[in-house]
Amino acid sequence: MSDLPHYSPQTESIYRRPITAQRRLLVIYAHPDDEAFGNAGIILAARHAGIEVHYICATRGECGTVDDHFLTLYPDVRALRTAEQMAAAEALDLGAVHFLNYRDSNMPGSLDNQNHQALVQAPVGDVATRIATLIDDIKPEFVITFPPYGGYGHPDHIAIHHASMAALAHATWHVPNVFYSTFSTTLIRAIILFMRIIRRNPRAFGRNGDIDVVRVAEEATPITTTVDCRHVIPAKIAAWQCHASQGGRTTRVPRICWRWFYGTETLTRVTPPALGHREVLRFEA
């Protein structure tokens, strides 16, 4: 890392309106689409309750796999995914998107990991300082970021987890409620079982065979907190569709099952620690 030229990108904050709301939620992830695929329902439920929501997005998702036809209107994946992110910002009614402007690091072992602009090459302290500055500006009541394994082990997800936690420790503003995104492992364990039955390796899952589903299940943090999202499901699906190049185009789940599939989102409470029983987080004051 030390032989690479130092890279110090500028934060680019794109405001859709000034901060006037009394209560604020800050979501901190790595790529355009992490906010929508992970927490569209929670973001929309917060907006429904009058809470301002900002998104810190560490990269522009330059290494995302994209079918060629998505690029007809854009010079490259970076421009495409930035446009998708800003469309999602409208669909989610975000107050602002703050791009940290690191480069997507791609999955482990790829050459993109070695790019000097990659998020994984940035010193954690540098990234944390920049996030802490934004935390002190935004003064959120709630922060959501990735858990230690970042959901499925993407190096950028893990990097932004460490930077976010360091930023929360260093910021002057004390964030009273900190959460990790998480998910039920029931379906994942069923997929592992099914893959073993058909003699496929669950440790080499996905289009590129680079997702270890066994580890995804093992590393998932516990569900301590649920958020009712039933009232925002159509808007949640509309937000996913903004990230069309990343598979957000359609849902194959019949509408009659939407409430069951999409009606609840889950979190792990980090601060203050969970009390042992599962809480229902209601944003209404």
The residues binding Zn ion (CB under 5 A) are 30-31, 34
Tell me the one-letter amino acid at 72.
T
| CB 62 to Zn ion: min, Å | 12
Q: Which is nearer to Zn ion, 61 or 95 (CB)?
A: 61
Say if residues 144 and 109 touch (Cβ distance below 8 Å). Answer: no
Q: Which residue number, 51 or 165, has a Cβ lying nearer to Zn ion?
A: 165
Smaller CB separation from Zn ion, 51 or 159 = 159
- Pick the closer one to Zn ion by CB: 24 or 243: 243
Which stretch of DSSP H or E encloses residue 148?
none
Distance, in Å, from the CA atom of 211 to the CA atom of 195, rounded to the nearest integer, reads 13
Least Å distance between CB 33 and Zn ion?
Answer: 6
Shortest distance, position 247 Cβ to Zn ion, whole Å: 12
**Nearest partner of 219 among 143, 120, 146, 147, judged by Cα:** 147
Query: Cβ 219 to Zn ion, closest distance in Å?
Result: 15
Contact 167, 129 (CB under 8 A): yes
Q: Please, what is the minimum distance in Å from the beta carbon of residue 27 to Zn ion?
A: 12
CB of 34 or CB of 112, closer to Zn ion: 34
Burial class (CB in 10 A: 0-12, 13-18, 19+), 237: buried
Largest CA distance in the chain: 56
Q: Give the integer Cα–Cα distance in Å for 176 and 69.
A: 44
Question: How far apart are CB 242 and Zn ion at their closest, in Å?
Answer: 15
Give whichever of 152 and 283 is closer to Zn ion, judged by the CB atom: 152
Q: What is the C-alpha to C-alpha distance for residues 256 and 39, in angstroms, rounded to an integer?
A: 21
